[in-house]
Amino acid sequence: MPDHPTRKEIQLLDGDFYIDRPLQHYEWMRANAPLYYDEIGEIWGVTLHEDIMTVSKTPEIFCSGQSSRPERGILIPSMINMDDPDHKRRRSLVNSGFTPRRLEESEAKIRRITHQLIDRVCERGECEFVREIAAPLPLIMIGDMLGMPEEDFETLLRWSEDMLAATSATASPELQERAQQAGIEYATYALQAIAARREHPKNDLLSTLVHAEIDGHSLNEEALIHESLLILVGGDETTRHVITEGTLALMHFPDQRKKLIDDPRKVPNAVEELLRWVSPIKNMNRTATRDTELRGLRVREGDRLLLLYPSGNRDERVYDNPNLLNVERSPNPHVAFGGYGTHHCLGASLARLELRIMFEELSRRLPDLELASDDPLPQRASNFITGIEAMPVRFTPSKPLAAR
């Protein structure tokens, strides 16, 4: 065990640790134990931006193939848990859904959906922001890309949330049972959709995955289930939390929000800052393939290392005043997309597009949006992807665009 100071409150596999942004703990680790060993979880925590990038870009030493998640004994057969060449082959099959042409075709649709979401609430002067604004946009976009019917979107969202709610070392038996049931129900649903695409292909991403071949390889049913689920969760959960917590951050920094209201050209740069600020993916796991050294400490073959992205995104060595929101921050080499090197997030460009359009329209149409309650905002306990579950807001009522 390394000879460095520890804190009993730092339990890197416990979902409760990630509630309410443990920024003080991250800061303490960066200063006192930048490569922190959590004895309870038996796992290293990588806190510095430089080290997160080093580990991410040296898969020959720190691999994904023994699971991107830290829980032992669980290895889901999707590309996020593979190393090259298997990862590259699988990624190439999925990549066809995220080409620049497809993204260009999506912009008008994202704008239209955003207008519709705001139109539904703008006359009321209040809404529940997560369910009515933040969650629907990425869910609709990723559901449509996969070719799922709109009437199934709420069920898909529930399955996604139930599975993530159990990603904690302290998840209750009830949460674990719900997650298992959600996984079974999704697998059954996906198998039916896969069988339908085999018989009758459509112009959607699931059909592409079902019929794609590279070097004579195609995906079997198990792989299709897990890849489609990875796309669903990755495309839905992360973006919704940046919309919600990014909006909350702009409420807390009204001078920064005013900059976006006054000059919408600042929004693309602001999106990068909000990604850094929120860091919706809390970590990914890598496993040492051999004995090595990091930060002067010996890491043994088989050791697990948790890349703590929110810590890297507040690293004082990289960012001036990292705990201040600055929509004009540049450069901004954040690690918010949870995978670099060969595992750089496939959906990063789509997420940026959705976020840009959403924050442009929120700044333009709901410029005085504010919290409607002083009660604590509920958050999911998860050691993977977590964020605010509900956020009541109010604003000056206005007419829908359709009525203008």
| Chunked mean pLDDT (size 10), the chain, 404 residues | 83 91 95 96 97 95 93 79 86 76 85 96 97 94 91 89 77 85 92 94 90 79 89 86 97 98 97 97 96 96 97 97 98 88 83 96 97 94 90 97 70
| Domain spanning 15-403, CATH class | mainly alpha
pTM score of the predicted model: 0.94
Q: What is the largest CA-CA distance in the chain?
A: 67
Question: What DSSP string runs through 116-150?
Answer: HHHHHHHTTTEEEHIIIIITHHHHHHHHHHHT--G
Q: Where along the chain do its domains lie?
A: 15-403
What is the pLDDT at residue 403?
61
Q: What is the rounded distance in angstroms from the CA atom of residue 353 to the CA atom of residue 240?
A: 13
Bridge partners (DSSP) of residue 385 are 281
What distance in Å separates the CA atoms of residue 30 and residue 1, rounded to the nearest whole number?
A: 18
- CA-to-CA distance for 336 and 53, rounded, in angstroms? 12
Other Cβ atoms within 10 Å of 288 Cβ, number:
20
Quote the crossing angle between the two packed helices 221-252 and 153-165, to the nearest 10°: 80
From CA 278, how far away is CA 265, in angstroms rounded?
A: 21
The answer to whether the peptide bond before residue 331 is cis (omega within 30 degrees of 0) is yes
What is the side-by-side order of every strand in the sheet holding 370-371?
A: 126-128, 392-394, 370-371
What is the C-alpha separation between 90 and 394, in angstroms, rounded? 45
- Structural tokens at position 172: 């209750």
In the chain, the amino acid numbered 345 is C
Helices marked H in 129-220: 129, 136-146, 153-165, 173-199, 205-211
Tokens of 184: 């079974």
- Per DSSP, 203 falls in state S
Residue 86 CB-density burial (10 A; 0-12 exposed, 13-18 middle, 19+ buried): middle
